[in-house]
Amino acid sequence: MRGIASSAGLKNRVAKRRVRDDRAARRPASARPGGPRARGAEACERAARRPASAKTPRRTRLHLVARGCPSGYPAGVPTRPVILDCDPGHDDALAILLALARPELRVLGITTVAGNSGVENTTRNALRVLTLLGRTDVPVAAGAARPLVRAGHVADHVHGASGLDGADLPEAAVGPVAEGAVELLARLVRGSPDRVTLVPTGPLTNIARFVRTHAELLPRIAEISIMGGAIGEGNLTASAEFNIWADPEAAAIVLDCGRPVALVPLEVTHAALFRNADIPRLETLGTQTGRVFADLLRFFGIFHHERYGWDGSPIHDAVAVARLVAPGLVTEVPYRVDVETESELTRGRTVVDLHGLRGLPPNVSVGTAIDRPRFIDLLVEAVSRFP
């Protein structure tokens, strides 16, 4: 019986091969295996199969660009329009870089908010990062200088007086657009042919204002991918993570806005550690971008070594971008999440109902773990895309 089955299988494979040969004969020569277009497609497919940890040589990347693979990535990758809402910030800078490097994402614009530093600094820092990366075509709009109802607070004890201390970044080659953050968000969302993903990595003031003033545009939001919150211990207080603590009323509005929301909390981002031993991987790229981000990460690591004794720094904000381009990178579970807005002791705590004790349906996809080596490979590969 085994011999009969093998013989029948062989006949089937031969018949399928004849069908493929007939189809190939009817295709133009340039599209046949070995033709110019086919060779380009085959190169793109080989690039797609390459592990994330395997760096594509520069000559190969240039070949892929010539063969129709933008930025050296495989051609035909579906793109997701995104808007970054951020407060750069060392980890925000890497989030911007990662979003611009990946072919799966199309960055429509960047909005800024006070958080890691005042909004003047965070806006300037976003523009300086774009200047470094040669992407000053991306519009940047300044947003909220303070929370919805509370006094402002900045994290200069972590990020330095400028919000991005530690490296010699170029001065911004362009300025922000005349529109405010909410106006730019509305214009870009309204004008996009596809639903837009928002990626907030700072206090959620801008996004909450957008939700409140442009409810008619909410159906055009595909997802909101947030860096913020904690299931357990906070990082600004014992109860709360900084972004949610800074504007808890805004966070409560966004989490219950009715659109798909993903939350990348400290349990995930504290595991997304860029260790000091990883930094030489950026320096050996031999590029200005690699050197700048190596210096930024060394500075960023000082606070985390003094606070936690860690040998490196968590790249919080880039995880909110990375989960969009690397399926399975972050383990996520749907939970009911509410934000504490009344108690000063637990202000900004994200109350994650792990066991459904309140009997309410989940409203957030909450990250619980990350594949750290894969994440670090994604970051290094992204930095290698820039001069």
Contact present, 200 and 206 (Cβ < 8 Å): yes
DSSP character string of 200-251: E-S-SHHHHHHHHH-GGGGGGEEEEEEE---SS--SSSSS--HHHHH-HHHH
Active site residue 316: yes
> Which of 90, 153, 316, 355 is the catalytic position?
316
Report the candidate in 200, 205, 270 with the shortest Cα–Cα distance to residue 235: 270
Q: Give the Cα-Cα-Cα angle 232, 236, 239 (nearest 5 degrees).
A: 35
Q: CA 352 → CA 13, 246, 249, 333, distances in Å?
A: 54, 18, 17, 11
Report angle CA 81, 204, 269 to the nearest 5 degrees: 80
| Cβ-contact 125, 88 below 8 angstroms | yes
Cα 208–Cα 251–Cα 320 angle in degrees, nearest 5: 95
Q: Annotated active-site positions, please?
A: 316
